[in-house]
A and B are shown apart, each in its own frame.
Chain A
Amino acid sequence: MNATFGAFLAAGLGMGLAAAGTGIGVSILAAKALEGMARQPEASNTIRTSMILAIAFVEAIALYALVVCLILATKV
């Protein structure tokens, strides 16, 4: 039970939790976007652009976690 063990465990666990949160977030986004497109097909293009923009925001947060986990997994 030394620092390397803790670092590897933290890297895996951290990234897994971040991925779980991102999965839920993007799913909610996509569900609402599809709902909107079904209600008003003429606005599909606008909705699609905004959805892709919002997905990029949510993914960025997961990638902050990824960078921290990569530092943990390779430094120690």
Chain B
Amino acid sequence: MNVIEHLSQKIVCPLQFGGIDLSITNGVIAMWLAVLLVTVFFWLVSRQLRPVPGKMQNLAEVLVLFIRDEIGGQLGDTRDRWLPFLAAIFTFILACNLLGLVPGVASATANINTTAALALIVFFVVQVVGVREHGFFPYLKSFIPEGVPLPIAVFMVPIELISTLAKPFSLAMRLFANMFAGHAVMFLILSMIVLFHSWLVVPLPVVGDTVFLAFELFIAFIQAFVFTYLSALYIATAQEGH
């Protein structure tokens, strides 16, 4: 019983498109489920919008207003324009994280491929926003720091490039490592039962795992918030000028 084997995704339906492996894994199914849940929830809420909201509409309003004000507050006047993008990221990551905690459903965000894809999307959005706001050559010039003598500036350009590449890398790694580590620890706590080969040991890992599950629920929300907050921060930095 290996932790990494347990958390690897299993292929459910092999598919090849001209040499590219597009097999359906249980992680892909978990992501579809997450998207389905989020879409159905918001669609059902938006069908009957009342001035005095009921419970579900209240929940949806709290969520959307939280994303628009707390996370999108850094974006200034363009919050409403960015709200769909930020809300999509936040709800998708939250749904994937929470679904991963359900026994039997694969954890999509505990896989570096999913989080890297999300981070790449944010990276391209940030660069495109930077180029669109300020023009292509000012964007290239932003890698050269202001008011710095030439030898040091030549030295600083690679550092600026690395820092630009490090941001999506850290986004992907933070989400992946948090989710992967959470699931790995839960697996290792439960594997104590197998290690000790005895029925007497069973209550302790089970209770410990349940308590840890509560902590993992908290972490699921926090990581979705941090990913979305940092994406909004990078977009805001690119919009207003480096």
Contacts and interface: CB of A to CB of B under 8 A. Distances in A.
B223 interface: yes
Interface SS of chain B: helix, strand, loop or mixed? helix
B173 A56 contact: no
Contacts, number: 36
A53 interface: yes
Interface string A59-73: 110011011001000
Given A59-B178, A74-B3, A74-B4, A52 B222 contact: yes
B173 A64 contact: yes
A53 B173 CA distance: 16
Q: Interface residue tally of chain A, by bracket?
A: 10 to 19
A66 B178 CA distance: 10
A49 interface: yes
Contacts of A64: 173, 177
Contacts of B181: 63, 66
Contacts of B4: 70, 74
Given A66-B177, A67-B177, A60 B170 contact: yes
B226 interface: yes
B3 A60 contact: no
A66 B177 CA distance: 8
